[in-house]
């Protein structure tokens, strides 16, 4: 098992993804929160990453895909 990035976006987007993943029983955590909130011009995509276990990748990818389709 390794820890991998499933999403990169603004703090708001990353928190939404994290909540959606947790609703599906997938543990996750946010990485680079300070960079994403203090330097919005530095990373246009937001820079806050949602990290998960590689074991949950397939299920998490479906959750993230659904979120992105509804944007």
Domain ranges for the chain: 3-69
> CATH for 3-69, among 3.40.140.10, 3.20.20.10, 3.30.70.1530, 3.30.830.10?
3.30.70.1530
pTM of the model: 0.84
Reported as a pLDDT band with limits 50, 70 and 90, residue 34 is confident
pLDDT reported for residue 47: 84
Reported as a pLDDT band with limits 50, 70 and 90, residue 33 is confident
Residue 13 neighbours by CB under 8 Å, 6+ apart? 7, 46, 48
pLDDT reported for residue 23: 97
Q: Among 43, 49, 53, which residue's Cα sits nearest to residue 1?
A: 53
Q: Residues 68, 62: contact at Cβ < 8 Å?
A: no
Q: How far is CA 17 from CA 29, 47, 65, in A?
A: 10, 14, 10
Give the separation between CA 25 and CA 7, rounded to whole angstroms.
17
């Amino acid at each position: 098992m390794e820890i991998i990035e499933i999403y990169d976006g603004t703090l708001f987007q990353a928190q939404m993804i994290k909540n959606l993943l947790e609703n599906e029983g997938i543990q996750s955590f946010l990485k680079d929160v300070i960079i994403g909130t203090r330097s919005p011009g530095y990373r246009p995509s937001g820079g806050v990453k949602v990290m998960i276990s590689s074991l949950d990748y397939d299920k998490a990818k479906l959750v993230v895909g659904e979120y992105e389709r509804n944007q």
